[in-house]
């Protein structure tokens, strides 16, 4: 075989090897890209599942809170009515009024930290309106907790037995805080209802 024939044959062999390597390389890259694509889809499905499960659990939790609020609302309302009915009677202490009514009971609220429960990617799937709504619910939970602590401190101290001017003003303060507490309970129920409507409507 002369030199030109050798070079031609050698060149064809090299071309075949390079071509085969290129095909194998493309196949490997395509395989990697497909694997990444499939993995991305699986992660998105997992994130969506995590989101759906968490929002559903929150909805059930809010239902329980709503029931808890409603279960004591009549007691709070009767206590508030009693305070208002005897508002100008300085001869009665707060203790006397608790005897005439069901007394004062604070609501027990379940408060799951949904931001910790959800993964970072799951959080990205929630729209701005739902995030805002959940943030308002968290804020209202904290507000009710703080108000409940104040009401408890007002109710369980020595001033509840006083019937003089100090006792009279103590009753006024208690009535004002109780009104704010009950108002916030109703606002919280409205927020729960809005959240449930969004979940049922698929507006995550």
At 7-44, the pLDDT tens digits run 455 555 666 666 677 677 777 776 676 766 665 566 66
pTM of the full predicted structure? 0.74
Residue 163 predicted with pLDDT over 80: yes
Rounded Cα–Cα distance for residues 160 and 96 (Å): 8
pLDDT at 182: 95
pLDDT at 7: 47
Kindly give, in sequence order, each residue whose CB lies less than 8 Å from that of residue 168, ignoring residues fewer than 6 positions away: 90
How many other C-beta atoms lie within 10 A of the C-beta of residue 73? 16
Range 105-123 burial, b when 16+ CB lie within 10 A, else e: ebbebeeeebeebbeeebb
pLDDT digits (tens, 9 = 90+) for 95-129: 888 888 877 888 889 887 777 777 666 777 778 88
Rounded Cα–Cα distance for residues 51 and 58 (Å): 10
Query: 157 versus 16: which is more confidently predicted?
Result: 157
Rounded Cα–Cα distance for residues 154 and 174 (Å): 6
In the chain, % of residues over pLDDT 70: 78
């Amino acid at each position: 075989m002369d030199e030109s024939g050798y070079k031609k044959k050698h060149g064809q062999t090299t071309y075949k090897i390079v071509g085969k390597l290129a095909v194998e390389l493309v196949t490997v890259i395509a395989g990697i890209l497909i694997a990444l694509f499939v993995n991305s889809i699986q992660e998105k499905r997992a994130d969506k599942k995590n989101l759906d499960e968490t929002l559903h659990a929150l909805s059930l939790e809010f239902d329980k809170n709503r029931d808890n609020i409603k279960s004591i609302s009549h007691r709070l309302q009767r206590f508030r009515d009693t305070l208002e009915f005897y508002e100008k009677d300085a001869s009665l202490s707060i203790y006397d009024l608790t005897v005439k009514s069901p007394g004062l009971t604070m609501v027990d609220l379940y408060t799951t930290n949904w931001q910790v429960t959800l993964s970072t990617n799951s959080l990205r799937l929630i729209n701005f309106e739902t995030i805002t709504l959940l943030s308002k619910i968290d804020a209202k939970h904290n507000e009710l907790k703080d108000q409940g602590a104040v009401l408890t401190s007002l109710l369980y101290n020595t001033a509840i037995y006083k019937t003089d001017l100090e006792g009279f003003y103590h009753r006024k303060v208690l009535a004002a805080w109780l009104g704010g507490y009950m108002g916030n309970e109703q606002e919280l129920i409205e927020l729960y209802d809005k959240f449930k409507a969004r979940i049922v409507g698929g507006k995550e």
